[in-house]
Amino acid sequence: MMAVFAISVTPGAYAEAKTVPGEYLVLFKTRDKVMETEGRDRDVAVSVMLDFQSEYLAVRYGLEVKNSFSAISRSNGKGMFFVKSERASMDGKFEEKLLEELRADPFIEAVSPNEVQKMISTSVGISKP
């Protein structure tokens, strides 16, 4: 027996989205040299790229890298990271300045505050094999 579920966003969830202070998703611009490689060479190139970009975020902005998304990076040549700033989580003015600096960085394509979304899953039926 297999259950089928539909996931629906609660009405107004996007309007109710709350950000987690000091937590962000950071997306670097595409590294063409990574995309020129294939197979094992791409795995190595992505690993090196993520190491350098992670270090850059730590040294340049004081961010703690909590996670990197190597599968996404391997597919599109863009380093993607979940990062945290303790200082920004406690100081709203610092957070505004940090976001402004990250978004102005020529190596970074996008920065998004971590948002909490509430979702509901509902059963839509059961299918039998």
Out of 55-59, 100-104, 119-123, which region has the weakest mean confidence (pLDDT)? Answer: 119-123
**120: which strand partners?**
8
pLDDT in tens, 16-58: 568 889 999 999 999 999 999 999 999 999 999 999 999 999 9
pLDDT, residue 76, reads 94
pTM, to two decimals: 0.76
CA dist 128 → 22, 32, 100, 111, 125 (Å): 46, 48, 53, 44, 10
Tell me the pLDDT band of 123, cut-offs 50, 70 and 90: low
